[in-house]
Amino acid sequence: MKIPHPIQYQGSKRNLAPVILKYFPGKVVRLVEPFAGTSAVSVACAFAGITKNFWLNDYNASLSGLLELIINKPEELSDYYEKLWHQQHSDSIAHYYKIRQEFNETDDPGLFLYLLSRCVKGSVRYNSEGNFNQSPDKRRKGARPENMEKNIRGVSFLLKGKTIISSLDYKEMISGIKNTDLVYMDPPYQGVCRDKDSRYLAGIDYDEFISFLSKLNKKRVPYLISYDGKCGNRTYGNYLPDRLKLKRIELEAGRSSQATLLGKKDITYESLYLSEKLLNLIKIEPKNYKKQQYEQLAIMEKTITYA
């Protein structure tokens, strides 16, 4: 079966996860994601059997709350989503805006799942007040309940009983991260978000992030970072500084959804940085990755029977 993914989220590393996992050590004691998002890399890691321990953190409490429900209350969340999905058929657009307003008033993560499934391009947008303000996709009504349930149950099967979930400022995590952990980071990109971007509740300060990485180096923690990149002739952010002793490679992520909508063929490339400690643990030489024509990224095909 394919790797389960209940949350459609622009910027997710779902498609690149198999390439990123090539640079993981053979066995990992615990995988830590300070900017978990949809936890696509952790799900892929669990699917591949690389580790059985995870710490997923996201400053967006609605998103971390949604991960909590997916992993620990899959039946309850699936039933809730099915109820919301069926309620939309008399007037799906009005229903979407009603749910969006209710979510902005309550921060209910179950409502958030419906919005993510139904919104334009799976793209999160927040206004200056921190309210979710993305519009509905008028061409579709979101994932069907039976498909959503299958994906929710799949992620729960892979991560339940193995995962710590938190909603901390990433800098608060440093004391809890051990040198036996592997840390994967996918923070808001410099240059895309500057200090604040409508796609994130909060951006990150460049100098504070560099300080955090320096502390990880001092603790001899192995880590990877998806950080900057380019699309066509446009680049996003400056490279991370040489003093961190990181190895940088470029991964082709394919045509951007925005370029596709505009009828363009710009290809997106994302940088992946590997720490010095990680380079000492892995056996392969990091190389730039370029997708082959017709290639589909998949770790493997295997059958999982859900408990």
| Across 45-59, 81-95, 178-192, least confident range | 178-192
pLDDT above 70 as % of the chain:
83
Q: What is the 3-state secondary structure (H, E, C) of 29-49?
A: CEEEECCCCCCHHHHHHHHHC
Longest CA–CA span in the chain (Å) reads: 59
Domain 17-71+150-279 and domain 91-145 have a common topology: no
Nearest CA among 120, 102, 14, 15 for reference residue 62: 102
Interhelix angle 61-72/109-118, nearest 10 degrees: 100
- Residue 261 sits at the vertex; the CA angle it makes with 256 and 262, to the nearest 5 degrees, is 95
Question: Mean pLDDT across the chain, nearest whole number?
Answer: 86
Q: Averaging pLDDT over each range in 182-186, 255-259, 288-292, which range is the top one? A: 182-186
* CATH class name, domain 17-71+150-279: alpha beta
pLDDT at 196: 44
Q: Quick: pLDDT tens for 127-182.
A: 988 899 999 998 889 999 999 999 999 999 999 999 999 999 999 999 999 999 99
* Overall average pLDDT of the 74-85 stretch: 98
- The structure tokens listed for 150 are 């299958």
CATH for 91-145?
1.10.1020.10
Ordered by start, the domain boundaries in the chain are 17-71+150-279, 91-145
